[in-house]
Amino acid sequence: MIEKKLLFVCLGNICRSPAAEAVMVEKLKKAGMDARIMCDSAGILGYHAGEKADYRMRNHALQRGYKVTSLSRKVKADVDFDHFDMIIGMDEQNIKDLNLLVRSSADLNKIFRMTDFSSQSAYDHIPDPYYGGSDGFELVLDLLEDACDGLIKYLEKRKQ
Ligand code: 4NP
């Protein structure tokens, strides 16, 4: 039975949030939690709606064993804040944009920042890799792997 539904959010939903979704799905499978936790991703912008994730993100993720399969879609405030339990932004601007969409304090309480779950403190956001090179995509995956481990621990603790 699905106990928690997570929505990962970035600007375009073609780099960071689809990668976060793919990394989390894989880590949930390894932790035996995939039947309990459901993941999806969306973007603040609908500019890339219907598109596969950026090929660079897909390739870098695949090299680590993560299949990024989701198609881009825009956040739907009226539906997503009802459907999901946690809405997890990748950077400060994503959080600000999500905060503008809330309808209630209950909605507001669903918003988290991906790096809230990080074990490291060097980055307080997942940097946008879109206009950069390979290093940026690798950094995104490093930070997402770490934050997903923390998110799994958080979900396990909340369950007890
Ligand atoms: P993302 O990266 O937010 O990690 O998906 C971006 C993708 C596309 C654009 C910006 C950021 N864009 O401006 O098209």
Long-range residue pairs from 121-127, CB within 8 A, at least 24 positions apart, any chain: 124/92, 125/90, 125/91, 125/92, 126/10, 126/16, 126/20, 126/90, 126/91, 127/91
Average pLDDT over residues 78-92: 98
Which pLDDT does position 158 carry in this prediction?
86
Give the pLDDT confidence of 16-26 residue by residue, as tens digits.
999 999 999 99
Average pLDDT over residues 70-77: 97
Q: Which of 9, 15, 96 to mutate to test the pocket of ligand 1 (most atoms within 8 A of CB)?
A: 15
Give the pLDDT confidence of 95-145 residue by residue, as tens digits.
999 999 999 999 999 999 999 999 988 999 999 999 999 999 999 999 999
Domain of 36, CATH number, reads 3.40.50.2300
Which pLDDT does position 134 carry in this prediction?
98
Which pLDDT does position 160 carry in this prediction?
61
Task: State the total domains in the chain.
Answer: 1
Q: Which domain holds residue 83?
A: 4-159
Which pLDDT does position 22 carry in this prediction?
98
Q: Ligand 1, atom 10: nearest CA belongs to which residue? A: 12
Q: Would you say the CB of residue 44 lies under 6 angstroms from ligand 1?
A: no
Which pLDDT does position 139 carry in this prediction?
98
Q: Would you say the CB of residue 70 lies under 6 angstroms from ligand 1?
A: no
